[in-house]
Amino acid sequence: MTKYNKRFNMLIYFYIILLIFISLTAIIPASGAIDQRGPLISITAKEHIILNGENCPGFYYSTSSGTYYESLDLYFSEDGLIDTGNATYTSKITSGSTAFFGKKYKVLEDGLLSESLISYGSRDLQQGNDFDLGNGYKLVLQGVNEDSALLELQRNSHPVTSKSLKEGSKFNFTTIIDGTEYVILEGILDRVLYSKDPIVRLKSVNQYSDTPFKLKVGDQYGKFEVTEVTGKNIELKNRMPLRMQPGDYITILDGLIDIRVADNAYQACSYNMTKDVIKSYKIKGTSLTVNLSDPTPNSCIWTADSFGMLFYDPEYSLSTERLELNLDDKNDHRIPEGGLVYESLPVRIPYRNPEMKDYGENWFDGGYSVLGWDGEKYAYPGHDQGIVNILMDDDNGRLLYSGEEWDLGEGYTLKIDDIKSDKVYLTVLRNNIAVYSSIISPGKSADLGTHTLLYNKTIKGIEIPLFSVYVDNVLKGNENSGVSLKYPLHFSENPVEIKAGEMFGTLTVVETSPKIRLENKNPIYFGPDIEVTEEIYIGSFEKTTGGSRSVTFFPFMNKVENVDSILPTTTRWSIPAMSVEEYLIGN
């Protein structure tokens, strides 16, 4: 083979790798996607698991009434194996409503579903300030007369129909769908305020799509098939086996539920990566219902198992956060002092870089402690030192070319200044100013061991290995030279301060070592959402059934994102490392 042909082949390899990289980029979920995690479940033989709106994200759940419609029943015949027909998705139909794949619908007739687009408890409508309903629709207040109002439904600013209504009366607007008339907007004219600027109050407003869809037995949704459609429920079963192995991330229901299996155990957690352009999500945990007429004390503990937004690391199968609610025997519409507790206990993990095990400074000796805070993973540097954001810690390799800079976050970059023989000249920069330089000759000399670049920095009196990376190999070519890097580890230099006596929401920090603990110092009365920390809340709603009053508590986080994401894929690529090296070497 001629030298020209060899170079031509190397160029072909390069473009093949480039195309694979582009493909991988296309299937990785966007960083803006909301990652909603459900309960931890065992997927060993004979396990029977039921996921629903109460314990799993993705499924529709009404936090105002506690109603949920959907459930997913999983039976494992062997470790990580669900046989055909042993995964059952069911959606029950109640009072003409149901939910399907995470969204609420009005059931027009058996199998014909119209999506619920808007549901308001109450809303004011002022003349000149129209009620935008979406899909081109809007509700317009044309005028009022004492206790009456004229409402007009418009689409694309053209009148569809209008109605004169008296205060307290129900209303609905309809449309013709395939020759049949269906309600697409309904509500109650609760109050009319006749003044210079007329205004009405609407209550129980519900809008439904004018483009319903039909479900039929035999319809397929990914690996599931519709097996039953009645006036009481909709049922789907898996039409092929579902297999899971440690480290897998597989789709169970397309667009709704994924399963992430721990790396070293048959334990999994469910995820929902939404594909919609998000408005706002209230992501909740398991509920606690208390009978207010029963003097028995009640308590509940939420962990990563029962509240999916709390921190969980599937690689090490560890979680550190817990939220505890304790009510006394009075049940007098309040949480007593010390009755609401948030704790997070640090857990030690090893460094990925084998040479970092020889690092021996304070809390970072041979490894470092991690804990969850507001559902996110942080490093714990010790008593009264706050917590530290972990900007990088992974197994991913990286090729860095001569003269190229790698963005490390928080203004830090890593740059290759030069490559000579088997030596690489590296510089760590902060806001384009060099803060550390080192010459690494892999296998011979380095800052730590024989491969590791290590940049330390003292923060609040503690020496932290702020940035480290394993320099695996120097690739010297005729035209292109580079270096392969592994195990990047980068801590933030801006700790989040958590001090005894400091308040987060309604809780006060009472302990910072060996764990972080927050408690309420004053009674908290039922009613508005309780702010536990900056991200975690406790919601509640009261119900009266047969003369008995109860209150239901549930933890939640609010998430607001803008997403164009797609679900993760299980596609795996094998990239021949020699192709990269041959291209760089140019032989």
Check residue 26 and give its pLDDT. Answer: 31
Q: In the structure encoding, which two tokens stand for residue 213, read together?
A: 């869809």
Check residue 281 and give its pLDDT. Answer: 57
CATH of 282-348+498-559, one of 2.60.120.380, 2.60.40.4190, 3.40.50.300, 3.40.50.12780: 2.60.40.4190
Cβ-contact 355, 445 below 8 angstroms: no
Total count of residues recorded for the chain: 587
Q: What is the pLDDT of residues 366-418, one digit of tens each?
A: 999 999 999 999 999 987 788 999 999 988 888 998 888 999 999 999 999 99
User: Is the peptide bond preceding residue 514 cis, with omega within 30 degrees of 0?
Assistant: yes
Give the residue extent of every domain in the chain: 3-28+568-585, 112-213, 282-348+498-559, 354-491
Question: What is the C-alpha separation between 106 and 129, in angstroms, rounded?
Answer: 28
Cβ-contact 322, 301 below 8 angstroms: yes
CATH fold of the domain at 354-491: Tick-borne Encephalitis virus Glycoprotein; domain 1 (2.60.98)
Q: In the structure encoding, which two tokens stand for residue 459, read together?
A: 């923060």
Cβ-contact 298, 553 below 8 angstroms: no
Within 10 angstroms of residue 585's Cβ, the number of other Cβ atoms is: 16
Check residue 272 and give its pLDDT. Answer: 57
Question: What is the C-alpha separation between 544 and 529, in angstroms, rounded?
Answer: 20
Cβ-contact 540, 554 below 8 angstroms: yes
DSSP for 196-234 reads SS-EEEEEEEEEE-SS-EE--TT-EETTEEEEEE-SSEE
Cβ-contact 288, 301 below 8 angstroms: no
Check residue 91 and give its pLDDT. Answer: 93
Q: What is the pLDDT of residues 273-328, one digit of tens each?
A: 444 433 445 677 888 888 877 777 788 899 988 888 899 888 888 899 999 999 88
Check residue 237 and give its pLDDT. Answer: 96
Q: 112-213 domain in CATH 3.40.50.720?
A: no
Question: What is the C-alpha separation between 535 and 560, in angstroms, rounded?
Answer: 12
Max intra-chain CA distance, the chain = 95
Check residue 255 and give its pLDDT. Answer: 66
Cβ-contact 121, 204 below 8 angstroms: yes
Class of residue 425 by CB neighbours under 10 A (exposed 0-12, middle 13-18, buried 19+): middle
Check residue 585 and give its pLDDT. Answer: 29
Positive/negative CA dihedral, 211, 217, 218, 220: positive
Cβ contacts of 126 within 8 Å, gap of 6 or more: 141, 197, 198, 199
Question: Alpha helix locations (H) across 394-473?
Answer: none
Burial 528-547 (b: 16+ CB within 10 A, else e): eebebbebbbbbbbeeeeee
| Short-list 18, 6, 35, CA closest to 568 | 35
What are the 10-residue block averages of pLDDT along the chain, 587 residues in total?
Answer: 47 37 34 58 88 78 70 93 95 90 89 87 84 86 90 91 92 87 90 81 88 93 94 94 86 78 68 46 77 80 87 88 88 85 95 93 90 94 88 89 89 92 93 95 95 93 93 81 94 92 93 94 86 88 77 80 33 27 27
Within 10 angstroms of residue 169's Cβ, the number of other Cβ atoms is: 14
Positive/negative CA dihedral, 410, 411, 412, 414: positive
**C-alpha pair distances (Å), 454 with each of 197, 435, 449, 457:** 68, 12, 10, 10
Class of residue 13 by CB neighbours under 10 A (exposed 0-12, middle 13-18, buried 19+): middle
Encoded amino acid at 270, one letter: S
Check residue 298 and give its pLDDT. Answer: 83
Encoded amino acid at 396, one letter: N
The backbone torsions φ and ψ at residue 77, rounded to the nearest 5 degrees and listed phi first, read -80, -30
Q: In the structure encoding, which two tokens stand for residue 495, read together?
A: 């700790």
Check residue 525 and give its pLDDT. Answer: 85
CA-based Rg of the chain, rounded to a whole angstrom?
A: 29
Cβ-contact 108, 100 below 8 angstroms: no
Question: What is the C-alpha separation between 553 and 555, in angstroms, rounded?
Answer: 7
Question: What is the C-alpha separation between 453 and 423, in angstroms, rounded?
Answer: 13
**Spatial strand order in the sheet of 87-92:** 48-52, 70-75, 87-92, 233-238, 224-229, 220-221
* Beta-carbon-side half-sphere exposure of residue 272 (alpha carbons within 13 Å): 26
Question: What is the C-alpha separation between 413 and 470, in angstroms, rounded?
Answer: 16
DSSP 8-state symbol, 29: P
> Which pTM does this prediction carry?
0.59
* Beta-carbon-side half-sphere exposure of residue 250 (alpha carbons within 13 Å): 17
